[in-house]
Amino acid sequence: MLKLTGKLRKLGKWHKHPFKNLLMMGFMMWMAGNTVHLFSIGITFSALWQPIGALQGVGKVFEPYKDSKVDLLVPKLVFIALNLGGLALGIWKLNTLGLLPTHASDWVSSLPPAKEVEYSRGGFPLL
Amino acid sequence: MAMAIRSFLIFLFILSLTVPTFSLHEDQVGLMDWHQKYIGKVKHAVFQTQKTGRKRVLVSTEENVIASLDLRHGEIFWRHVLGANDAIDGIDTAMTKYAITLSSGGSILRAWNLPDGQMVWECFLQGPSDSKSLLFVPTSSKVDKDNTILVFGKGSLHAVSSIHGEIVWKIDFPSESFEVQEVIQHHDGNTIYVVGFVGSSQFDVYQINAKNGELLKHNSATIDGGFSGEVSLVSTAKLVVLNAARSTLLTISFQRGEISFQKTYISDLVEDFSGMAVILPSKLTGLFAVKTSTATAFISVSSEGKLEVVDKIMHATFISNALSISEDQQAFALVWHSDNEIHLNVKQVHDWNSDLLKERIKLDQQRGLVHKGKVVWSREDGLASIIGVTTSELPVEKEGVSVAKVELNLFEWLKGHMLKVKGSLMLASAEDVAAIQGMRLKSSEKSKMIRDHNGFRKLLIVLTKSGKLFALHTGDGQIVWSLLLNSLRQTEACKNPTGINVFQWQVPHHHAMDENPSVLVVGRCGTGTDALGIFSYIDTYTGKELKYFGLDHSVAQVIPLPLTDSTEQRLHLLIDANGQAHLYPRAPEAVSIFQRELSNIYWYSVEADKGLIKGHGLKSNCAGEAADNYCFGTRELWSIVFPSESEKIISTVTRKSNEVVHTQAKVIADQDVMYKYISKNLLFVATVSPKASGDIGSATPGESQLVVYVVDTVSGRILHRMTHHGSQGPVHAVFSENWIVYHYFNLRAHRYEMTVIEIYDQSRADNKDVLKLVLGKHNLSSPISSYSRPEVTTKSQSYYFTHSIKAIAVTSTAKGITSRHLLIGTIGDQVLAMDKRFFDPRRSVNPTQSEKEEGILPLTDSLPIIPQSYVTHSLKVEGLRGIVTVPAKLESNTLVFTYGVDLFFTRLAPSRTYDSLTEDFSYALLLITIVALVVAIFVTWVLSEKKDLSDKWR
């Protein structure tokens, strides 16, 4: 029993960990500002990678607590939700940096000029 | 260890120093630019035969240049380019130390110091009427004795002191139409004779006191039958002229003011004479030359006035003035050309049979000096009068083409790089620095005769006024080949051939790779627009004229079409004076290609004198007897008539047909999009009120206005019209992408102004739905037609500009991604590069944060001139007339060729070289750094291993 409560306590710590991460990330992002430079890009991409990495390893995180007596579904869902929140934060940051193609200008900025049907030349008589 | 770290830090520091810098440094001059000085086609030459010092020849040219050249080497000691309207009428030397020039129709007399070319004095001469002008420096004034110069100009005779340039005395001749032919100084030095004609039948002699200008005596006599033009002075008291019918020679003697005539029929002298004769201008004692339709006859005049033919030459001949070769001997030269050779003959004046020199020179238009029968030097001064420029690629590197020859061997390469490293480490001595600089300047890389990766090496094909075509290498400006076009040579059928322009004819790239590229030279026989045309193709690799022929129609317009045939020959449409279009090349294939596009090809004509712009379409066949398969008729579609009482067309400009634009969208602040209206069928037209079409200051601000139009040349629709009140020309404009920048004078502000117009397509402005754009549901890439009447908006803004300008151009790059710079040829004959960002109608006094991020500059009322942005740095392109930009293959670079009397070429990177390392990047230093780092890693690794081991032992 004691062992179980210890496990649960640990589990609580484990799902607190991504929440702390989220706050930390938010603070870092606020610090980084809204202009594109090395620091803000690094922060944003780490904010994107961390949740993705965590979501990939969601099974591994909860491996030590795998027990028939403990219901892991809720903590797992909370863990996933928090990480998705982190991911969303990262994407939002990416957008504020203007790195997401959400504007018309992103889709037409390298559109070549349209062809012209007619061709006309001339000018002063050559002298 | 600490040592190692320190050396690392030093390395890092040095690396940080080698970050490429972008403005031009003093030692970068001449690395990618070259400058050549010319003077133009020589009109007059004065040989300075002083005993001491280096021998010089003083020349004046058709480009209004006065120059002093080294007689031994042909180098320019000094030169001055007078203004375009300041044509030189005569040059001479005075007091052995001054060069005297008479210019501007005999109204400006200047003295220049002979050794260094500094101007000593200047004198403005005024007179009652315009007349021919004559400069006469008395022989006694050439040495120090006397010091007056006699000038006939503006209808009166002036005596000017050669020391200070003051007018000593002036005579207005009683008869206003008196034209002075010769001024002769009497041998006592006190009296001068002025001889000339009034009208075409009266001969006058004035005897004038040389000291005070007092008119001593005036005699005149009428010649019955009149006379014509040319005069030859055969002695101090004898003239020879032709009568009005040009069949009789009149010998006029005016000994002591008494006039007597003597008539001799040319048919008595020259047996098979018929038609008209012409006296060749010469000043030889006792000898003159008469050109008839068959030959040039040399006739000697005895002291009694007896004429005798001494020789006949069957070709058109030119005669030099006499040069003293010893105390009492004078020599002169005859030049004529036959077949492909120039014959040069030097003879003594008194002894026709003594040939001092007899030479044959292969025909070539260079100005040169023959010394003891050898060409001592020659200068390609045709390059001072370029009329057309185009470019050609160099051959690609093939197996047959050996590159190894020009490459240095490994040791030299290493040595060079070690020197460079030393230079970058600041360890180089003064000699090393000089060696490095020399190496960079002489880099064989830039003058290779093969195509390079970056497209920096090209051939500039230039056509000059003399009908000679040159190929200049862009690397160092060397003349790769030059060709005197056979097609532009005088023949029986074509008396006065002139070149019009040079065009790219065949640029092989996809098909026909093994063909050589060729250019097309279009010319005409004569000066009017109705003269028949000439066509000539030249291979740009070999410099051989492939084919040439005369056309059976005139050439008013040459229109290169955006069509090529299977051998990559570009189709050209030639419009003749009757408005009929002729297709070239003359091949059935070209016609079938052209027929497909016939309905979409238009042309327009601008008639400045009628204030008319007309648009034409093409018909499938042409009217008249000249009809053949290659001739197409035209029909008028539209016309714009400007009111003649208020508007006069002074300038039109259109986009370059080969300009590449990267994108149609312009992203502005806050990710918004504006769509540029990019059309090649737009014409910018500037008109001024007729009163204001003269020089600045000739009209008051109230009566002058400048109106600019942007016209669609397919439909004749006026897209934009703007009036600048109180402004006037000259207007210089440049049209690129969707914008126009033009320069004019604002009379109210007393300053030059530049205005930018940007044209945007309003009909596409709605394409802002991201989803539709992602799915491709937009009309942005559908072809546009002028008949769909696209809705456009224009934005415009004006700025003051300090300089008046001579030419304006814009940089062009291979893909049009790089931002553009305007290249402004200033009145000081320099080229100023200005970022297009200065000409942005969206500039405002306080741009918002997002606009600042976009790169919009705060608005200022005048454009800043940054001294560092002169692309010609310290050089001047004298007589600047044109700026040509050519894209390099490397997107960031553009090649700029500026021509006038001088030539200047450079390479620019308007957005800096973002796509390659700069040429002076030290690869050796990079290599050394990497090696040092690797070594350091090993050393520290070994050290740490040792430390670990010792720790473990402890």
* Euclidean distance between CA atoms B554 and B679, whole angstroms: 30
> Chain B 390-409, CB below 8 Å of chain A: which residues?
none
DSSP conformation letters of B177-215: TEEEEEEEE-TTSSEEEEEEEETTTEEEEEEEETTT--E
Buried b (16+ CB within 10 A) or exposed e, B18-35: eeeeeebeeebbebbbbb
* A27 lies in some domain: yes
Mean residue pLDDT of chain B comes to 83
Any chain A CB within 8 A of the CB of B662?
Answer: yes
Tell me which chain A residue has its CA closest to the CA of residue B772: A104
Torsion from C-alpha of B76, B81, B86, B87, nearest 10 degrees: 30
Q: DSSP states of B6-38 as a string? A: HHHHHHHHHHHHTSPP-SPPGGGTTTS-EEE--
Q: Tell me if B707 sits within 8 A of B723, measured CB to CB.
A: yes
Which amino acid does the sequence have at B345?
Answer: N
Determine the distance in angstroms separating the CA of A42 from the nearest CA of chain B, rounded to an integer.
Answer: 22
What is the distance between the alpha carbons of residues B73 and B59, in angstroms, rounded to a whole number? 15
Nearest CA in chain B to A124: B606
**Residue pLDDT, tens place only, B894-914:** 999 999 999 999 999 988 888
Kindly state whether residues B930 and B794 are assigned to the same domain.
no
When scoring B559, B676, B711, B738 by the number of chain A Cβ atoms within 10 A, the one with the most, hence best to mutate, is: B559
CB B572 within 8 A of CB B560: yes
| Three-state DSSP state, B798 | strand
The helix/strand/coil state of B468 is strand
Q: Which residue intervals of chain A are DSSP H helices?
A: 2-32, 38-56, 58-61, 73-96, 104-108
Q: Is residue B9 part of a domain?
A: yes
Pick from A96, A100, A108 the residue to mutate for testing the B interface (most B CBs within 10 Å): A108
| Cβ pair B807, B742 in contact under 8 A | no
Residue A72 included in any domain: yes
Contacts of B59 (CB under 8 A, 6+ apart): B39, B42, B43, B44, B45, B46, B65, B66, B67, B68, B69, B91
Do the domain assignments include residue B416? Answer: yes
First to last CA, chain B: 22
CA–CA gap between residue B627 and residue B448 (Å, rounded): 48
DSSP state of B669: G
Test B681 with A127 for CB contact under 8 angstroms.
no
In this prediction, residues B509-520 reach a mean pLDDT of: 78
Q: Where are the beta strands (DSSP E) in B713-804?
A: 718-725, 727-736, 739-746, 751-761, 792-801
Residue B381: pLDDT over 70: yes
List the B278-284 sheet strands across, edge first.
B278-284, B287-291, B296-301, B307-313
Q: Which CB contacts under 8 angstroms, 24+ apart, belong to B819-824? A: B819/B910, B819/B911, B820/B736, B820/B737, B820/B910, B821/B908, B821/B910, B822/B734, B822/B741, B823/B871, B823/B883, B823/B885, B823/B896, B824/B743
Nearest chain A residue to B682, by CA: A120
Higher model confidence: residue A78 or residue B199?
A: A78
Of B928, B906, B23, nearest to B475 by C-alpha is: B906
CB-CB under 8 Å, B673 with A120: no
Residue B731 belongs to some domain of the structure: yes
Among A102, A121, A123, beta carbon nearest to B770? A102
What is the DSSP secondary-structure string of B274-294? -S--EEEEEEETTEEEEE-SS
Instruction: With respect to residue B291, please indicate whether it lies within any of the assigned structural domains.
Output: no
Split into its structural domains, chain B has a count of 3
Please state, as a whole number, how many other Cβ atoms lie within 10 Å of the Cβ of residue A57: 11
Sorted by sequence, the CB contacts under 8 Å of residue B375 that are 6+ apart come out as B361, B368, B369
Answer yes or no: do B933 and B787 share one domain. no
Measured distance CA(B720)–CA(B467) in Å, rounded: 41
Percent of chain B with pLDDT over 90: 31
Does any domain span residue A106?
Answer: no
Lowest mean pLDDT, pick from B190-194, B420-424, B723-727 = B420-424
Residues of A in contact with B521 (CB under 8 A): none
Q: Does B773 touch chain A (CB under 8 A)?
A: yes
Average pLDDT over residues B154-166: 84
Mark whether B656 and B795 lie in a shared domain: yes
The predicted model gives B377-400 an average pLDDT of 84
Residue B831, in any domain of the structure: no
Domain count, chain A: 1
Task: Tell which residue, B295, B158, B179, has the closest CA to residue B241.
Answer: B179
Q: Please give the helix or strand (H or E) that residue B266 lies within, else none.
A: helix B266-269
Residues B676 and B659: beta-carbon distance below 8 Å: no
Chain B interface includes A98 (CB < 8 A) = yes
How far is B91 from B43, CA to CA, in rounded Å? 10
What ipTM is given for this predicted complex?
A: 0.78
Q: pLDDT category, B877, cuts 50, 70, 90?
A: very high
pTM, rounded to two decimals: 0.85
Instruction: State residue B896's pLDDT score.
Output: 95
pLDDT at B7: 45
pLDDT for B403: 38
pLDDT of B1 above 50:
no
Chain-centroid distance of CA B608 in Å reads: 24
Tally A–B CB contacts below 8 A: 136
Residue A23 lies in a domain: yes
Q: Is B843 helix (H, G, I), strand (E, B) or coil?
A: coil
Count CB atoms within 10 A of the CB of residue B635.
10
Q: What pLDDT, on a 0 to 100 scale, did the predictor assign at position B161?
A: 86
Longest dimension (CA), chain B: 132
A105 touches chain B (CB under 8 A): yes
Residues of A in contact with B561 (CB under 8 A): 119
* Domain annotation covers residue B253: no
For the cut 90, the answer to whether the pLDDT of residue B886 exceeds it is yes
Q: B811 with B734: CB under 8 angstroms? A: no
**Position B616 pLDDT exceeds 80:** yes
Strands (E), B802-849: 805-810, 821-826, 831-835
Least confident of A38-47, B75-84, B336-345: B336-345
**How far apart are alpha carbons B522 and B539 in whole angstroms?**
15
* Residues 6+ away with beta carbon under 8 Å from B177: B198, B199
Q: Does A119 reside within a domain?
A: no
For residue B734, what pLDDT is reported?
95
Q: Which of B447, B478, B512 corresponds to the end of one domain?
A: B447
Instruction: Assess if residue B895 is contained within a domain.
Output: no
DSSP states of B568-632: -BEEEEEE-TTS-EEEES-SHHHHHHHHHHGGGEEEEEEETTTTEEEEEEE-SS--STT--TTEE
Please indicate, yes or no, if residue A121 is contained in any of the structural domains. Answer: no
- The residue of chain B with its CA nearest to that of A36 is B853
Structure-block tokens of residue B30 = 């001449």
Burial of B203-224, coded b for 16+ CB within 10 Å and e otherwise, reads: bbbbbbebeebeeeeebeeebe
Instruction: Note whether A120 contacts B: Cβ–Cβ < 8 A.
Output: yes
Q: Within an 8 Å CB–CB cutoff, is residue A119 touching chain B?
A: yes
- Put simply, the answer to whether B606 touches A115 (Cβ < 8 Å) is no
Instruction: Tell me which DSSP letter residue B867 carries.
Output: G
C-alpha closest to that of B572 among B613, B611, B537, B525: B537
Residues of chain A contacting residue B784, judged by C-beta atoms under 8 Å apart: 114-117
Task: Determine whether the interchain pair B769/A127 forms a contact, defined as Cβ–Cβ distance below 8 Å.
Answer: no
Q: Which residues of B touch A97 (CB under 8 A)?
A: none
pLDDT at residue B946 tops 90: yes
Q: How far is B522 from chain A (nearest CA, A)?
A: 11
A118 inside domain: no
Who wins on pLDDT, B444 or B865?
A: B865
Domain that holds residue B934: 1-18+922-954
Show which of B801, B823, B854 is a domain's final residue. Answer: B801
Q: How far lies A22's CA from each of A18, A19, A36, A85, B524, in Å?
A: 6, 5, 21, 8, 81
In this predicted structure, the answer to whether residue B402 has a pLDDT above a threshold of 60 is no
The pLDDT tens digits of the residues spanning B261-316 come to: 788 887 777 777 777 778 877 777 777 888 777 778 888 887 777 778 877 777 76
Q: What are B437's two structure tokens?
A: 């600089």
The answer to whether residue B4 scores a pLDDT higher than 50 is no
> How does strand B601-607 pair with strand A119-123?
parallel
What is the rounded CA–CA span in Å between residue B261 and residue B221? 9
- For residue B759, is pLDDT > 90? yes
Contacts of A106 in chain B (CB under 8 A): 671, 770
Give A109's contacts in chain B (Cβ within 8 Å): 663, 665, 667, 673
Residue B802 CA to residue B315 CA, distance in Å, equals 54
Q: How far is A66 from chain B (nearest CA, A)?
A: 42
Task: Indicate yes or no: CB of A108 within 8 angstroms of CB of B673.
Answer: yes
The model's confidence at residue B717, banded by pLDDT at 50, 70 and 90, is very high
Q: Is residue B616 part of a domain?
A: no
**SS3 (DSSP) at B256:** helix
Residue B323 reports pLDDT greater than 80: no
- The C-alpha of A68 sits at a distance from chain B's nearest C-alpha, in angstroms, of 48
Contact B783 A116 (CB under 8 A): yes
Q: Is residue A109 part of a domain?
A: no
Chain B residues touching residue A37 (CB < 8 angstroms)? none
pLDDT tens across B816-850, in order? Answer: 999 999 999 999 999 999 999 999 999 999 988 88
**Domain boundaries, position A29:** 8-100
Domain end position, chosen among B771, B801, B831: B801
- Establish if B604 touches chain A: CB-CB under 8 angstroms: yes
Q: In terms of pLDDT, which residue wins out, B86 or A12?
A: B86
Give the pLDDT band of residue B93 (cuts 50, 70, 90).
Answer: confident
Strand B227-235 to B238-243 pairing: antiparallel
Q: Which residue from A minimizes the CA distance to B554?
A: A126
Q: Which residue has the tokens 């002083």?
A: B50
